[in-house]
Amino acid sequence: MKIADMTWADVEIAARRDPRAVLPLGSTEQHAQLSLCVDAILAERVAVEAAEPLGVPVYPVMPYGLAPYFTAYPGTVSLRVETLLAVARDVLASIRRAGFRRILIVNGHGGNAPVGALAQELMADWPDTSIRFHNWWSAPRTWAMVEATGPASHASWMENFPWTRLSHAPAPAGEKPMIDPESLRASNPAQARRALGDGNFGGAWQRDDVVTDALWRTGVEETRAALEGPWPQ
């Protein structure tokens, strides 16, 4: 149930009926031949599909996050750490003000990890509120499927779904050697672009949809389980 499909009165009724709400977090950044908005697309879609059977409202995805290492790639948007935390704080405060006290953050971008720490801080200030930070792609069952399938990384097959592909930019065939993550972390944006080339960190660019469909279903189920709880009382 998207907030975009609700009125303010609908939200008021929803919060009285159920204290749960979902906030997806994404990013706008290079993903090789895939959409620049992969992380935002996936975070919002997995959140909506997970919440729909439960009738829990899903707020619009935050489309920008922390991506300074990709700023040499045109189209990438990167917030400052303090900006991301300030915006997330205000959004979460607004969700709480609407009456929701069980908030699931569905995160689609590893760079947004500081919001998880912010959630802990806010719960110390808001003892009546529980906030769960859920990295949907690296949750235990979902990540186990990735590891069982084969090497995967940023902009590889594990992010290549029909809804993140672009018709004018088909995936290359085969697999790309995995990059050295430690070397990448020590690189400035220009160095990172030279090392990465197209932007894929390594692994197959695309796998059969049968494989990714199964991965997606697991991600949705695991996100729904996080939303179902149990929540602290």
The domain that contains 146 carries what CATH number?
3.40.50.10310
Residue 232, in any domain of the structure: no
Residue 67, in any domain of the structure: yes
Look up tokens 């935390």; give the residue: 85
Distance from chain centroid for Cα 18:
24
Residue 146 lies in domain: 3-226
Residue 117, in any domain of the structure: yes
Round to whole Å and give the CA distance between 48 and 59.
9
For residues 73 and 100, is the Cβ–Cβ distance under 8 A? no
Amino acid at site 88:
A
Residue 233, in any domain of the structure: no
User: For every one of its 233 residues, what pLDDT tens digit does the chain have, with 9 covering 90 and above?
Assistant: 999 999 999 999 999 999 999 999 999 999 999 999 999 999 999 999 999 999 999 999 999 999 999 999 999 999 999 999 999 999 999 999 999 999 999 999 999 999 999 999 999 999 999 999 999 999 999 999 999 999 999 999 999 999 999 999 999 999 999 999 999 999 999 999 999 999 999 999 999 999 999 999 999 999 999 999 999 98
Report, in this order, helix, strand and coil percent for the chain, each rounded to 5: 50, 10, 40
44 to 25, 47, 59, 135, 171: CA distances (angstroms): 8, 5, 9, 12, 23
Number of domains in the chain: 1
Bridge-based pairing of strands 20-25 and 102-107 is parallel
Residue 62, in any domain of the structure: yes
